[in-house]
């Protein structure tokens, strides 16, 4: 097992890999006194992220839409870790009014906040518009998180150093975001194209957040968790999943499913690792920083972030547009 007691250097990477679990990346870390917020906390990667952080002493705010499911998830963590310090926050990321209300109450209650894991999301859904009139994957995966994080940034800066981890996907390589046609008015809707656009937005969000807030001690990091069997793939048949993984990994590299603790490891690592201290604006996978891909390169051994997804000008344009959309 690799521990965080190693003296890291960029030449040999983080010391972790695709097989590392949440407990591996937190080995040797005491998170007492730290307070984090995790969206999508009631199941899947979000639940494992909460469990891992709480088991190492952190106070964790569990943010989710379904209160009863979130309470059941919290009870499960407490049964395994009786000293877990957990708080619950009701928020529907598909509704900007719900996000505003949740953020207002959370900020008013006060307290430190050392990090956010923007984990919740939907994937490859049939075409639908949110209650605010935005394509649903863009609305939930990006815009709701954008508003929530924006409202919490002063609190994060007051608790700095702090990090915002935007959970993206290798699926960002399947489709760029069209800032002039977010709702597919002028294009045919394709679920994976919309998913790729939303996941590209997650990376761009982290890039611009980092540029704007790093001088105040808040860093933005985007991550790809890997392929994990969770509720996220509820709309996909086995055939569609197989084709998706081939597209995401470039078709020429082997693909291996991760367990949920392995899948959640990269976001936990990005949130807490000393290896990333004073760093941000990058895309990470397999608990390490990923290469930026040249325009004519699909992946590097199945890894890498598209250059367009870390383009500063596009990140600034998306931030400005998101500001206008949320009001």
Residue 219 or 234, more confident: 219
Annotated active-site positions, please?
A: 168, 195, 199
Beta-ladder partners of 90: 64
pLDDT digits (tens, 9 = 90+) for 292-315: 998 767 777 778 999 999 999 999
**Residue 1, pLDDT above cutoff 70:** no
Angstrom distance (rounded) from CA 323 to CA 291: 29
3-state secondary structure at position 301: coil
**Residue 141, pLDDT above cutoff 90:** yes
Question: If you write DSSP's letter for every residue of 183-248 in order, what string do you get?
Answer: T-SSS---HHHHHHHHHHHHHHHHHHHHHHHGGGTEEEEEEE---B-SGGGTT--HHHHHHHHHHH
Beta-ladder partners of 173: none
**Residue 323, pLDDT above cutoff 50:** yes
Beta-ladder partners of 13: 9
Cis peptide before 188 (omega within 30 of 0): no
- Would you state the pLDDT for residue 251? 47
pLDDT digits (tens, 9 = 90+) for 102-133: 999 999 999 999 999 999 999 999 999 999 99
pLDDT digits (tens, 9 = 90+) for 146-193: 999 999 999 999 999 999 999 999 999 999 999 999 999 999 999 999
Angstrom distance (rounded) from CA 136 to CA 40: 16
- Would you state the pLDDT for residue 12? 55
pTM of the model: 0.91
Give, as one character, the DSSP assignment of residue 290: P
Angstrom distance (rounded) from CA 6 to CA 2: 8
Strand spans (E) along 13-104: 35-39, 59-64, 85-90
pLDDT digits (tens, 9 = 90+) for 227-277: 886 555 555 555 555 555 555 455 444 557 899 999 999 999 999 999 999
- Would you state the pLDDT for residue 91? 98
Contact predicate 222/289, CB 8 Å: no
- Would you state the pLDDT for residue 257? 87
- CATH number (3.30.1360.10, 3.40.50.10320, 3.40.50.1980, 3.40.50.720) of 28-326 reads 3.40.50.720
Strand order, beta sheet including 218-224: 85-90, 59-64, 35-39, 115-118, 162-167, 218-224, 283-285, 288-289
3-state secondary structure at position 144: helix
């Amino acid at each position: 097992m690799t521990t965080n007691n190693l003296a890291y250097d960029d030449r040999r990477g983080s010391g972790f890999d695709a097989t590392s679990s949440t407990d591996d990346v937190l080995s040797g870390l005491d998170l007492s006194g730290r307070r984090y917020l995790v969206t999508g906390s009631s199941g899947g990667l979000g639940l494992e992220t909460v469990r891992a952080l709480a088991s190492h002493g952190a106070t964790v705010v569990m943010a989710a839409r379904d209160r009863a499911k979130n309470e059941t998830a919290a009870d499960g963590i407490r049964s395994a870790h009786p000293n877990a310090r957990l708080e619950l926050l009701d928020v529907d990321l598909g509704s900007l009014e719900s996000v505003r209300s949740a953020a207002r109450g959370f900020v008013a209650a006060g307290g430190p906040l050392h990090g956010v894991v923007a984990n919740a999301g939907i994937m490859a859904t049939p075409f639908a518009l949110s209650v605010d009139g935005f394509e649903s994957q863009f609305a939930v995966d990006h815009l709701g998180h954008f508003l929530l994080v924006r409202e919490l940034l002063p609190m994060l800066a007051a608790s700095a150093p702090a990090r915002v981890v935007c959970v993206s996907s290798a699926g960002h390589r399947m489709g760029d975001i069209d800032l002039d046609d977010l709702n597919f008015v002028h294009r045919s809707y394709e679920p994976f194209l919309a998913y790729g656009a939303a996941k590209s937005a997650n990376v761009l969000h982290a890039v611009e957040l980092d540029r704007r807030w790093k001088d105040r001690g808040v860093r933005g990091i985007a991550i790809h968790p890997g392929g994990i069997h969770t509720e996220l793939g509820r709309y996909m048949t086995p055939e569609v999943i197989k084709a998706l993984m081939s597209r995401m990994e470039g078709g020429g590299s082997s693909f291996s499913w991760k367990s949920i603790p392995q899948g959640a490891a990269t976001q936990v690592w990005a949130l807490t690792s000393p290896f990333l201290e004073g760093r941000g604006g990058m895309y990470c996978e397999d608990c390490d920083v990923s290469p930026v891909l040249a325009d004519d390169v699909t992946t590097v051994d199945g890894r890498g972030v598209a250059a367009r997804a870390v383009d500063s000008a596009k990140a600034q344009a998306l931030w400005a547009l998101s500001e206008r959309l949320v009001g």
